[in-house]
């Protein structure tokens, strides 16, 4: 025997009526028993529906943005290597090895780094995952080829030297600085 699900409006009204009583009040149990009888469900079903109705559902997974196959440190290391392969193999027209080919190179042959030979376990890296993390961590082509922002020098202390010009010029030559006394 199937029962119709209890509508959200009914659950909201029931919750409003229950809010007037203490959590362990006898009147609260009477209201639940009456509502269960009216809608033809058990009290436990009504309690479950109330609990489900008030619990918000998350929009995304709790581990969104972190790799699941590898640890974040390992995944970042492999993404650095793949980005380096792409930068080192790019030509003047901007063409470079694809992500899939870079993954294949790391898995089959490995990459020689200052730390030694680095080889990824076969089948752990996928093209879509690596591309997502390359973009997320700033290892994509647009970010790596961008020139650094020009920042003006700012002294931390008020008497630090801000600029020093080594070019030869007669205009900068001072016979005696102003702060030196005449003796």
**What pTM did the predictor assign?**
0.56
Q: Could you report the per-residue pLDDT of 71-124, keeping only the tens digit for each?
A: 999 999 999 999 999 999 999 898 999 999 999 999 999 999 999 999 999 999
Region of 65 on the Ramachandran plot (φ > 0 left; ψ -120 to 50 alpha; else beta): left
Give the residue from 77, 68, 151 showing the smallest Cα distance to 120: 77
Q: Could you report the per-residue pLDDT of 34-44, keeping only the tens digit for each?
A: 999 998 899 99
Give the Cα separation of 74 and 127 in Å (integer): 16
């Amino acid at each position: 025997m199937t029962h119709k699900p209890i509508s959200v409006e009914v659950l909201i009204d029931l919750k409003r009526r229950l809010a007037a009583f203490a959590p362990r009040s006898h009147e609260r149990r009477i209201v639940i028993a009456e509502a269960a009888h009216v809608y033809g469900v058990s009290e436990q079903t009504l309690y479950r529906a109330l609990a489900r109705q008030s619990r918000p559902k998350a929009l995304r997974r709790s581990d969104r943005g972190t790799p699941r196959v590898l640890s974040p440190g390992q995944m970042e290391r492999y993404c650095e290597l793949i980005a380096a392969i792409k930068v080192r193999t790019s030509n003047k027209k901007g063409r470079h090895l694809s992500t899939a080919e870079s993954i294949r190179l790391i898995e089959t042959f490995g990459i020689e780094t200052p730390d030694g030979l680095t080889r990824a376990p076969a089948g752990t890296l996928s093209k879509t995952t690596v591309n997502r993390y390359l973009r997320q961590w700033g290892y994509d082509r647009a970010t790596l080829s961008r020139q650094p922002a020009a920042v003006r020098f700012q002294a931390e202390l008020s008497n630090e030297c801000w600029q020093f010009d080594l070019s030869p010029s007669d205009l900068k030559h001072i016979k005696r600085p102003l702060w030196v006394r005449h003796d």
